[in-house]
A and B are shown apart, each in its own frame.
Chain A
Amino acid sequence: MQKLSRRDLIRASAAIVVGFSLGTRANAQDTAAKSLDPDQVDSFLAIHRDGSVTVYMSRVDVGTGMLIAIPQMVAEELGIPAERISVVEGDTALTPDTGGTGGSAGLTRGGVEIRQAAATARRALDKSGPADRFNLRSDPKAPLKDPSTYTVVGKSLPRPDVPGKCTGRTAYLQDHTVPGMLHGRVVRPPAIGAKLLSVDEASIKAIPGARIVRSGNFLAIVAKDEWAAVRGARELKATWSEWKELPGSDRLEQHIRDTPIDKDQSIVGKGDAKQALNASAKQLKATYFWPFQSHASLAPCCAIADVRDDSATIWSSTQGTHALRNNLTKLFSLPAGKTRVIFMPGAGSYGGNGNDDAAADAVLLSKLVHSPVRVQWMRHDEHGWDPKGPAQLLDLRAGLDANGHISAWETQMWVPTTTPGVRAFIAADLAGIDQDHAQSPGGVMNNADPPYPVPHVSVTAHWVKTTPLKISNLRAPGRIGNAFAVESFTDELAAAAGADPVAFRLRGMTDPRAIAVIERATQMIGWQPRPSPNPTRGVGRGFAYVRYNQALNYIAIAMEVAVDGKTGKIAVRRVTCAHDSGLVVNPDALRNQVEGCIVQTLSRTIHEEVKFDQSHVTSVDWASYPILTFPEVPAIDVAVLNHPELPILGAGEGATAPVAAALGNAIFDATGVRLRRAPFRTVAFA
């Protein structure tokens, strides 16, 4: 292949009048000519006269490093510096729909498509020279650069969004305004299913410009002044009916066992686990529980909607602009083909937090008051009403043979079933608009079998029909709870066999990548082989290993803890992690994600549980739903094992999976107490 120098490309591109040098604020006529066909190179890339390049992607950067990783991948294929590449993300009028953000798939199912478009573009420029537009299908066979010659991919280039964030210059969604915009605040019912009986309009008479908006049970305040909207929503008096149909979080485990089952499904069936269990020399069983948890985004969700007769524009921090556009258009009868959702950055969302619901609130309000409306939730709306990561219940049984090897394993899990359609919007339910009430827990059956050579394994999912609280994807859905159970129980088996927990796991293991991460993480922490618990009480170390989704990332985590004998307080002192996700595009950005996975999951494991009574969620702020604070944060060392010759596996969530088990195992080592329910909070031991 003839090599195209950077100068050639810039010269060539001077003649390429692609003409989409639009920001995200482009107006409707500017966007009309932009190709959105995901098969077309022009949909993903525009090369401008000055040699700069714009990339268009439907997947968005939610603090995850996509804004540098994608330019690095494109820069590598085009042979230009990454700094010349800017990204337009999540705009239904500008970006081709290659799916929403999630599942650690920003690079594996978004970036690789853009990379292929760039490789196709490069080949066209090599062959035919300049052109007005590529008008070219992205060719899956267009040759990619040989990874051994990479000069941009694999480098820790700084993220372009960080300087703005650190100097207050980044325009977040929360900072955006549109002319004539009103501020909206929602007034949710005090009980989830309560009906609005009456509203006392006089109760907010003293608040200037505050206006009550009601549609069925949907209640809100709008005002030109944001503080008037806040005070109006806070002080508005309304009467609601009683509603007490939740089981209460205190009896959640029994409630899950009592919930009707949609279907039972065999997830893994290898050998004859039942027979082998009965034949085993030693049998263990245990029940593990993972609670409802909140996305607990640092910003309450926000959205701006400008709904007019002939068009609608919605600004949102949603992770799925295109799906949101389609769902809102259908549900609120917005102008078909003239409804646009534009992503703007917000606080980390970690999956399907309340952003889509806030967008629906804003759309409904904009329709009702005929003005653009900005809705921002209050803290209690966020904690109280974001869709939750579901609770999980797992019954485990396993057998050891006479040599202390795992001979049989059985997992039975109770997890929410999947029903087709769209997750219901709160606003539509309250306003009495007919809609889907789909439930999509998101791959919660993964990582429920031991990643070790066990001859007889059975994993069964009992898909329960309903959940007390509405659910959605929360970072690594199900995998954290499952790996907590599986890797803690593996530790229980190692202890029962009197074996060192790491040596026990390595028995019979043959995959060199698995062995590499296990050895690396344990070397980094200075692991000394011995069985748990530690003869010295109060301090301990723990280990866990996960291969994410059975076939993706290899992650090993070791940690040291101290547990206070008087207060029971858990102090995580040090965490080491070895992480293999194939080709690494940006090692430092990846490390940032892995560190975040570790800290966030320590938080979820030690502190987090959504509490609810029979009417509503009662953990509605940071005092009742605490998360990890600075004094509790350990030292963290992450080893990134790069395999440039292998496919990218994504790194946004894998490292969450082993954290809870590694901590539980370390606490067992320190105290002899086995924790099988999260959150751990404190540990009582003698």
Chain B
Amino acid sequence: MYCSHPHRYGSLVYHRADADVEKSVKWNVSGEANMPTYNFQVNGRAVSVESWDPSQPLLYLLRNSLDLHAAKFGCGLGQCGACTVLLDGKPVRSCLTPVSQAAGRKVTTLEGLGTPENPDPIQAAFIAEQASQCGYCTNGMIMSARGLLNQTPHPSPDQVKQSLAGNLCRCGTHTRILAAVMKASKA
């Protein structure tokens, strides 16, 4: 499902989890040779990404090097939750997570949870409840909820509210999101 875009900056080396380097696409506009490489897993696949800056947030590499667009830039301050991904199963704000911290770890994005044809139970519940308006926060809502249900499979409505307190929704879809998470927890 990943594809490289030669017009995008950065280089991307794809590995199969069980194989050595298979394919390497190197394209570096800055002209810098030997940029540091960071190896980690994304949605079950091993990837290597290069970054000139170890503090570059994971979000930019997911979106621009790995072509995974579900995680969204909302504030860059860790205040809104739109960029949430799972790091070793726990929700983190990818806009504040330096790529160096992801090295050697497992990243899960919304694309990795499920597809429209075969959704994760939380995604299925969001679709059933029509728990989205503009949808820009939806990534963060589902990823935070996934993190919660990984830890607490059967939360109370109050626990859901508290665990989503750092995820902002501007359209006001909250009651449907709560209903969807509760539905998924009972699925």
Q: How many residues of A contact B (CB 8 A)?
A: 67
Q: Mark A210-227, 1 if CB is under 8 A from B, else 0.
A: 000000000000001111
User: In the bound complex, do residue B172 and residue A172 qualify as a contact, i.e. CB atoms below 8 Å apart?
Assistant: no
A208 to chain B: closest residue by CB: B30
- Give the most central of A62, A177, A209, A299: most B CB within 10 Å: A299
User: In the bound complex, do residue B135 and residue A175 qualify as a contact, i.e. CB atoms below 8 Å apart?
Assistant: no
Partner among A177, A298, A593 whose Cβ is within 8 Å of the Cβ of B136: A298
CA A379 to CA B133, docked complex, whole Å: 21
User: In the bound complex, do residue B116 and residue A629 qualify as a contact, i.e. CB atoms below 8 Å apart?
Assistant: no
Partner among A62, A169, A631 whose Cβ is within 8 Å of the Cβ of B165: A631
User: In the bound complex, do residue B110 and residue A168 qualify as a contact, i.e. CB atoms below 8 Å apart?
Assistant: yes
Partner among B82, B113, B178 whose Cβ is within 8 Å of the Cβ of A299: B82
User: In the bound complex, do residue A621 and residue B127 qualify as a contact, i.e. CB atoms below 8 Å apart?
Assistant: no
User: In the bound complex, do residue A630 and residue B170 qualify as a contact, i.e. CB atoms below 8 Å apart?
Assistant: no
Which of A85-93, A523-531, A596-604 forms part of the interface with chain B? A596-604
CA A172 to CA B82, docked complex, whole Å: 13
Any B CB within 8 A of the CB of A536: no
Which of B17-25, B70-78, B86-94 forms part of the interface with chain A? B70-78
User: In the bound complex, do residue B172 and residue A165 qualify as a contact, i.e. CB atoms below 8 Å apart?
Assistant: no
A211 to chain B, nearest CB (A): 11
Q: Mark A329-360, 1 if CB is under 8 A from B, else 0.
A: 00000000000000001111010000000000
Q: Mark B122-145, 1 if CB is under 8 A from A, else 0.
A: 010011001111111111001000
CA A622 to CA B168, docked complex, whole Å: 9
Any A CB within 8 A of the CB of B29: yes
CA A161 to CA B132, docked complex, whole Å: 9
User: In the bound complex, do residue B116 and residue A164 qualify as a contact, i.e. CB atoms below 8 Å apart?
Assistant: yes
Which residues 4-58 in B have Cβ within 8 Å of A in the complex?
A: 5, 7-10, 29-32, 51-53, 56-57
Q: Mark A595-617, 1 if CB is under 8 A from B, else 0.
A: 11111100100000000000000
Residues of A within 8 A of B169 (CB): 298, 599
User: In the bound complex, do residue A168 and residue B111 qualify as a contact, i.e. CB atoms below 8 Å apart?
Assistant: yes
CA A622 to CA B167, docked complex, whole Å: 11
B32 to chain A, nearest CB (A): 6
User: In the bound complex, do residue A299 and residue B136 qualify as a contact, i.e. CB atoms below 8 Å apart?
Assistant: yes
Which residues 168-197 in A have Cβ within 8 Å of B in the complex?
A: 168-172, 174-175, 177, 179-181
A176 to chain B: closest residue by CB: B69
User: In the bound complex, do residue B30 and residue A63 qualify as a contact, i.e. CB atoms below 8 Å apart?
Assistant: no
Chain B interface extent, by class: 35 or more
CA A629 to CA B51, docked complex, whole Å: 35
Residues of A within 8 A of B32 (CB): 208
A346 to chain B, nearest CB (A): 7
User: In the bound complex, do residue B167 and residue A224 qualify as a contact, i.e. CB atoms below 8 Å apart?
Assistant: no
User: In the bound complex, do residue B167 and residue A630 qualify as a contact, i.e. CB atoms below 8 Å apart?
Assistant: yes
A573 to chain B, nearest CB (A): 13
Partner among B7, B52, B119, B131 whose Cβ is within 8 Å of the Cβ of A208: B52
Partner among A64, A345, A347, A589 whose Cβ is within 8 Å of the Cβ of B170: A347
Any A CB within 8 A of the CB of B64: yes
B53 to chain A: closest residue by CB: A227
Residues of B within 8 A of A181 (CB): 7
Any B CB within 8 A of the CB of A401: no
CA A593 to CA B30, docked complex, whole Å: 47
User: In the bound complex, do residue A227 and residue B116 qualify as a contact, i.e. CB atoms below 8 Å apart?
Assistant: no
Residues of B within 8 A of A169 (CB): 111, 115-116
Which residues 153-187 in B have Cβ within 8 Å of A in the complex?
A: 158, 160-162, 164-178
User: In the bound complex, do residue B115 and residue A595 qualify as a contact, i.e. CB atoms below 8 Å apart?
Assistant: no
Cross-chain pair count, CB within 8 angstroms: 202
Residues of A within 8 A of B142 (CB): 166
CA A175 to CA B82, docked complex, whole Å: 14
Any A CB within 8 A of the CB of B63: yes
Any B CB within 8 A of the CB of A231: yes
A64 to chain B: closest residue by CB: B133
User: In the bound complex, do residue A378 and residue B172 qualify as a contact, i.e. CB atoms below 8 Å apart?
Assistant: no
Residues of A within 8 A of B134 (CB): 62-63, 298, 345-348
Any A CB within 8 A of the CB of B68: yes
Residues of B within 8 A of A631 (CB): 158, 161-162, 165
CA A348 to CA B137, docked complex, whole Å: 10
Any B CB within 8 A of the CB of A158: yes
Residues of B within 8 A of A168 (CB): 68-70, 109-111, 139
Residues of A within 8 A of B178 (CB): 630, 633
Residues of B within 8 A of A345 (CB): 134-135
User: In the bound complex, do residue B130 and residue A162 qualify as a contact, i.e. CB atoms below 8 Å apart?
Assistant: yes
CA A622 to CA B170, docked complex, whole Å: 11
User: In the bound complex, do residue A297 and residue B135 qualify as a contact, i.e. CB atoms below 8 Å apart?
Assistant: no
User: In the bound complex, do residue A209 and residue B138 qualify as a contact, i.e. CB atoms below 8 Å apart?
Assistant: no
B78 to chain A, nearest CB (A): 10
User: In the bound complex, do residue A298 and residue B74 qualify as a contact, i.e. CB atoms below 8 Å apart?
Assistant: yes
CA A629 to CA B10, docked complex, whole Å: 37
- Give the most central of A169, A230, A348, A599: most B CB within 10 Å: A348
Any B CB within 8 A of the CB of A592: yes
User: In the bound complex, do residue B7 and residue A180 qualify as a contact, i.e. CB atoms below 8 Å apart?
Assistant: yes
Residues of B within 8 A of A165 (CB): 132, 135, 138
Residues of A within 8 A of B167 (CB): 630
CB pairs A–B below 8 angstroms (24 shown) = A62-B134, A63-B133, A159-B130, A162-B132, A167-B123, A168-B68, A168-B111, A169-B116, A177-B5, A208-B31, A209-B9, A226-B60, A227-B51, A227-B57, A228-B9, A228-B30, A230-B76, A298-B168, A592-B176, A597-B172, A599-B173, A600-B172, A621-B79, A630-B165
Closest 5 CB pairs of A and B: A168-B70, A599-B172, A165-B135, A63-B134, A208-B30
Q: A161-B132, A348-B134, A348-B136 are in contact. List 7 more A-B contacts (CB 8 A).
A: A162-B130, A162-B135, A596-B171, A622-B168, A630-B167, A630-B174, A630-B178
